[in-house]
Amino acid sequence: MATTALARPQAVSLGRTAVELIPGLLLLAAVGYAGKFIEQSIATYTKAHHTTFPNIEYVLWAIVIGLVIANTTGVPRIFAAGIATYEFWLKAGIVLLGSRFLLGDILHLGGISLLLVALALSLSLTFMHPLGRAFSLKPKLTSLLAVGSSICGVSAIIAAKPSIDADDEDASYAIAAILALGAISLFTFPLIGHTLHLSDKAYGLWAGLAVDNTAEATAAGALYSDAAGKVAVLAKTTRNALIGFIVLGYALYWSSQGQAQTVSNKAAFLWKKFPKFVLGFLLISLLATLGFFTKPQLTSLANLSRWAFLLTFAGVGLRTSLRDLGKQGWKPFAVGAIGEVFIALVTLGLVYTADLYLHL
């Protein structure tokens, strides 16, 4: 199965004509705005008629509308280029969201996230490899699944694939499993969070640490509450910042086995794999902390971030093919699913403990 991730990890060419992007961008905007419109319409109706109806966020509407379109009528090729920009909007939205964090908050929550990520990471990496062996998966496929489920979903798999000389097929399986599990977690995490009565901070931290793909982690957080979404983005960004180190570790391991190229310059390798939007996020947060923006301007930046996320969530639904996800082999999915449940439980335990002792 060919997926987004198998394309070369280079930027969307700036030379791509705006004309090619317009149809997909309009579709993203239409689907996202439809989600917002439905949420607001239901709120207005229930208020006017004094009835109660569960508040379903625009996030879920946008994803569901996108899913329905992608899996019924399908998405014609003319929309492909524009839809593919959803990850661009995600990253721009995250950078803008930096304005809602004081640098001190980032250091506090980011520090806790970093600690929890390190713990969850070492546990999940040690768990995934015996699990992969138990299911007779190829070791490199297991490595990709471990990287994807413990760090950063699709981006991490894209970053790791060339570094460990993995097959296209392995990367496709790993990505399909991560995407399928990400879609499932969108619907299960908020339910579990509400059942356990998690606070916004605790839930956001959990979603940011346990949901793999950045778009899904952002959506899973926003589905719970605005505050939880903010924390989920911060925790996920912390996780993303570690991509380079994990990929470097795997690259060194596989090259020591004679099955991948050697890494000559480790610092250059780390910089190449480092997600640069994290720096933008920190810069905007620094500016906000220094009082560069007024309060109304901070509100505008937060709203710009929401609009960017609205396009992202529409893209999450539109790019998810249930049929393709079902086509993957059951073994990678099973290993990924068991690994995900393990990571979700471990991170939930860690978040509870952190809430108790470190006061989130």
Partner 1 sequence: MMTEVKKKVPGIGLSLDIYAVALALLLALLVRFNLIPAVKW
For partner 1, the binding residues (CB under 8 A) are 1-4, 7-14, 16, 70-71, 73-77, 79-81, 83-84, 87-93, 95-96, 99, 155, 158-159, 272-277, 279-280, 283-284, 287, 292-293, 296-297, 299-301, 303-304, 306-307, 318-321, 323-324
- Provide the strand spans (E) within 132-236: none
Residue-by-residue DSSP string for 227-245: HHHHHHHHHHHHHHTTHHH
Nearer Cβ to partner 1 (267/356): 267
Nearest to 66 by CA among 52, 79, 54: 79
Considering the complex, what minimum distance in angstroms separates the CB of residue 278 from partner 1?
8
| CA angle (286 as vertex; 280, 292 as ends), nearest 5 | 110
Cα distance between residue 319 and residue 179, in whole Å: 10
| Amino acid (1-letter code) at residue 104 | G
Nearer Cβ to partner 1 (11/356): 11
Considering the complex, what minimum distance in angstroms separates the CB of residue 14 from partner 1?
7
Considering the complex, what minimum distance in angstroms separates the CB of residue 293 from partner 1?
6
Token pair belonging to 109 = 């929550």
Question: Do 21 and 52 contact (CB within 8 A), yes or no?
Answer: no
Token pair belonging to 218 = 């952002």
Cα distance between residue 209 and residue 186, in whole Å: 14
Considering the complex, what minimum distance in angstroms separates the CB of residue 277 from partner 1?
4
Nearer Cβ to partner 1 (74/130): 74
Considering the complex, what minimum distance in angstroms separates the CB of residue 279 from partner 1?
7
Counting Cβ atoms within 10 Å, is residue 237 exposed (0-12), middle (13-18) or buried (19+)?
A: buried
Nearer Cβ to partner 1 (79/189): 79
Considering the complex, what minimum distance in angstroms separates the CB of residue 292 from partner 1?
7
Considering the complex, what minimum distance in angstroms separates the CB of residue 111 from partner 1?
23
Nearer Cβ to partner 1 (274/342): 274
Residues 6+ away with beta carbon under 8 Å from 72: none
Nearer Cβ to partner 1 (139/280): 280
Q: Torsion over CA of 76, 79, 81 and 84, rounded to 10 degrees?
A: -100
Nearer Cβ to partner 1 (83/348): 83
Residue 292 DSSP one-character state: -
| CA angle (140 as vertex; 135, 142 as ends), nearest 5 | 40
